Amino acid sequence: MINQSQPDLTEHPPRSIRVRLGGYAHLCRLLDKARAVIAGKGGDYHYNCPLDELFFAFTGIDHEEMFTAVKSGQTDTQMLAWVNEKAPRQPHDVIAWSAWLEQHGPGSGDGHEWIAGVIKENGPDRDDIRSFADALDLDDYVSYGGKM
């Protein structure tokens, strides 16, 4: 059974970018990574990675301040209330940003190289991987035993 309050990302992946909390894409994944890092079980996952930085840029929340809030042991619901207090965004803005994030793909050569590497390694016959969300879902699936 997965302990969501202290996820072990050496045993299972964080939740998908597509899982939403309060309309925010990526927030659940961000919380999973923070909790795992706090518990010393972050594995290959990094808190405040470039996708996390997109969340922080959109909300205006400081990543260290959020990490401290997560350390206090707050639940997903409590963390959502905290995010909403720190970054009062209109629901339509959150929905639009989340839709954009799910479709966001590489703009730079480095981003294209990273996605190409994920596809080559995990699903060389896949022709439907277009966004970072697609690539991360594929990588998470294969990294934890999924077969293509």
Per-residue pLDDT reduced to its tens digit, 86-104:
998 999 999 999 999 999 9
Distance, CA of 138 to CA of 114 (rounded, Å): 13
CA distances from 58 to 12, 49, 65 (A): 28, 14, 15
- The domain ranges of the chain are 1-104, 107-141
pLDDT digits (tens, 9 = 90+) for 20-31: 999 999 999 999
Rg (CA), the chain: 15
Specify the pLDDT at position 108.
83
pLDDT, position 114: 85
List beta partners, residue 21: 24
pLDDT of residue 1: 61
Residue ranges of the chain with per-residue pLDDT less than 70: 1-3
Cα dihedral 66, 96, 100, 13 sign? positive
Q: What is the pLDDT of residue 122?
A: 85
pTM metric for this prediction: 0.91
Position 2 scores a pLDDT of: 66
